[in-house]
Every structure is written in C-alpha cells, then in structure tokens.
Structure 1
C-alpha cells in the first residue's frame, strides 16, 4: 500500500520528532555547552569522539556498497570526500571547508587538528589509545548496522544530521565563549558542518521519503533513526563515565 502526501508529511514530522532523543540533550553535552568541563574532560571527549569521526567514511562506504541506485551513489560519495579528503588534498565543501594552506583536507584531518588545539598529539589520536570500550562498541555497532541492514535504513540512520546544525552552532559558540584556551583554528570542523549537515540531511531525507512509501518501510526508517540516536547517546554515556574523575 502506498501512502498519501499527508501521510508523507506525517512521516517527515515523525522523523523530525526524533530530535527529542538527540544527544544534544545529554547531560554531558549540556555541561560542555555551559562551559562546565575542565581541560582534561574536553580532551577526553575529543579523543573518544575521534573514533566516531574516523568511522564515518567506512559507514558511508558500506551504504554505497549496498546501494543499487546510481544517482544516490553519485551524490552520497561526496560524504566520503568530505571526511577523508582526497589524494590531491581536496575535500570538504566549497564554502566553509577545512582549509590547510588553501587546500581543503577533510573532516578527519580537521578533528585531528582539534585534538592538537586541545593538547592531544596526532599519534595518540590516530591510534585511539584513549577510546573507552563503550564508545568503541557503539561505533562498531553503527558501522555494522550500515553494512548489514537494507541501504535505505542505513540512509535513514544518518538523519540525525537534521538536528546537527543547531548543535554545531551552539557548540561553536560555547567553545568560543567558555574555552578560550583552545586555538580558534582548531574549531574549523564545527564551522564546516554548519553547511555540510544541511546539504547532507536534505539529500538523505529526499532518499528516504522517495524509497519509504509503505507503513512497513517507514516504520523501519524511524527505527533506524532511533537506533542512531541510541548510538550517539550511548557514546556520551561512556564518555561521561570516563571523564567523571578528570
């Protein structure tokens, strides 16, 4: 059974309603944005969050591998370039990208530079020695989900990007206001996501509404987005516990 336009609007509204479960409401995120974290706690968060940042291209590659739609693949592959950069040093977006001497290097590089800005060495970021088991488990679960579930469900799980721009804007303002010891150049990742996330979420929402036209597929998409919210929340649970005594 194909649903009506009204049902589609209700579906999109239900997807957006998942914002109530987004990790911006987590107590750790609230304390960070209120300027209540110490330097070691910020470093703990940056080091652990890198495990997620580093996994994003693998998640997107899994979606590409399962996706039979050429036009979707053509647009989705840009996400990998945004995070990995490319062999010739390009990546990110035309405006608001991650620039290094005029060359855009991608989101992973930007997060490594955030690590440097908070006092973490590149090697200790890249080898993920500070990543706690709960974060590692949540990240692996997300990549496995993208690899093993139907590709449209994996796309739906990415729709947390609908909620990301507000969080990124709030986080950027909070870091500039409360954590002035961090080199402002290290905050380039957040600035880039202000433009990347709306672009990416618009495409993902287009794909999900086009391909999820029955009650069953729409319920699966909602469950996928709920799962992704659980992944992000679980990561902060683990980080909050790890940072408690720092």
Structure 2
C-alpha cells in the first residue's frame, strides 16, 4: 500500500530536519570557527571552495534546462546572475576571488585549479551531474541546504574577523552580502518543492536529493580535512 503524501507542514519539517546532516558539524568547519586552522589550511579551503562556487551557475543552468515552467526559469536565472555578476568584476564569484586575494592567494592559482583536490572536484562534479540528469524538482530540493547556510556564513565571518585578522577586510564581502540572498533563495526553493512535490514518491525523492547534497558538501570537507592533516605552519598569521 502506497503511503499518503505528507502534509505541507510535515514535509517542511522533514526537509528542515536535514539541518543535522549539514556541514556546519564537520570537524574542519568546527576548527575553522574556533580559530584553529593554519593560514595554509584556510587558504586550501578557500581555493577548493572556489571550484564549488564556480560550478554553481552550471548547476543552475541545468535546473533551468530541465524545468518546463517559465515562471520558475525566470526566477532561477537570478541565481546565475548573482554568482557570475551582471558584468565583469561583479557578483559572488568576484567576491570569492577577492577573499582569496585577501588571504594571500594569487588569483591565477585559484582560477587555474592547481590547488584543487580530486575529492573536491569529484563531489562537486557529482552535484552538477545530478542537476543535469535528475528531475528539476529534485535539483531544487538539493539546493535547500541554503535553508541552513545564512547563520553559518555569519558565524564564519565572525570567526574570520576574530581569529584570522591577517585576512584583509576586502575579503569579507561574500559573507556580508550572501546571507540575505541565500535566505531569499531558500524560501523560494522551499515553496517550489512544497508546491510541485505533491505525491509521497515525489516527496521522498526530494528528501533523498537534499540528503545527497549534504553528502556532497560533507565529502568536500573530508577531502580538505585529509589534505590539511600534518600542516603545522607557524608564524604571526596564525595568531588569534
């Protein structure tokens, strides 16, 4: 016997429950927030997180390509413009590259992928492939990790200002600008998932998609954590 569909309230609660799988619990993030990373470890994180940031517009383009609803496509396009910017020198990508430079990384070294870890590449590419091959509603559901991200980004900015003062303020922009945008995007995506996943099977698929995305993010940090083991840089950059 097929289980009945969840009520909107229950479905919403089940989606929010995945906060417990979100990567804010990962040991690497915990160490970042406590000021325990060396400068090289933080730079490794920044350089590898760039690859994820850079691939988001391609993921969002795949959502648009798979979606037959014009209204959804129009609104979802805003995500691409936010990251790529309306012109050169604008957008979330530019803000992340400024963070990299403020942390002492060469922009070219970030862009050319010379610091990219295979595990981060694999996890990120799996996410983009998911968006290309799965129904658009599942890809939208996977994006709902944004439900949990605004508070994490605010905490991260506080940690950078408190513990990593060697990072120039010019690198703070992404974490200042992104939380309200992420909250608005998450609210929109949640409404789409609740409205368009009407059957129990569709709801189950949406929950599985969100679980998959949590695994993608966790796997990225696993790769970075493993690569950063044994890094024991010393010096004024590491002073809290």
TM range (shorter): over 0.9
- 1:226 corresponds, among 200, 211, 215, to 211
Q: Aligned residue for 2:132?
A: 147
**Residue 22 (structure 1) shift:** 0.2
Q: 2:223 & 2:43 partners in 1: Cα distance?
A: 14
- From 163, 166, 176, the counterpart of 2:161: 176
- TM-superposed CA distance for 1:245, in Å, is 2.0
Counterparts of 1:194 and 1:184, CA distance in 2: 17
Count of matched residue pairs: 230
5+ residue gaps in structure 1? 90-99
* CA distance in 1: counterparts of 2:7 and 2:191, whole angstroms: 15
SS at match of 1:86: coil
Deviation string, structure 1 residues 176-203 (Cα, Å, up to 9, x no partner): 1111000112011111111111010001
- 2:46 counterpart of 1:50: no
Structure 2: runs of 5+ lacking an equivalent: 232-240
- Using structure 1 for the length normalisation, give the TM-score: 0.91
User: How far does residue 8 in structure 1 lie from its aligned partner after superposition?
Assistant: 1.4
**1:29-40 maps to which residues of 2 (within 5 A)?**
29-40=29-40
Q: Distance in 1 between matches of 2:51 and 2:179?
A: 21
Q: 1:21 to 1:3 in 2, by over 3 A?
A: same
Per-residue CA distance 1:191-239 (angstroms, 9 max, x = gap): 1111111010001001000000111000000000000000000000000
Alignment-derived partner of residue 26 in structure 1: 26
In structure 2, C-alpha distance between the alignment counterparts of 1:57 and 1:19, rounded to whole Å? 24
Q: Is 1:125 the equivalent of 2:110?
A: yes
CA contact (8 A) 1:172 1:191 kept: yes
Deviation at 1:2, TM superposition (A): 10
User: Contact (CA 8 Å) 1:3, 1:213: kept in 2 or not?
Assistant: no
Q: Counterparts of 1:194 and 1:158 in 2: how far apart (Å)?
A: 15
Tell me which stretches of 4 or more aligned residues in structure 1 moved more than 4 Å. 1-4
* 2:74 equivalent in structure 1: 74
* CA–CA distance in structure 1, aligned partners of residues 95 and 188 of structure 2: 23
Aligned to 1:157: 142
CA distance in 1, matches of 2:47, 2:98: 11
Instruction: Tell me which residue corresponds to 1:92.
Output: none
**What is the RMSD computed on CA atoms of the aligned residues?**
1.4
**CA–CA separation in structure 1 for the residues paired with 2:46 and 2:229:** 15
1:28: Cα distance to partner? 0.3
For 2:199 and 2:4, locate their aligned partners in 1 and report how far apart those are by CA, in whole Å: 6
Aligned CA distance change for structure 1 residues 152 and 178 (closer, same or farther; 3 Å): same
Aligned residue number for residue 94 of structure 1? none
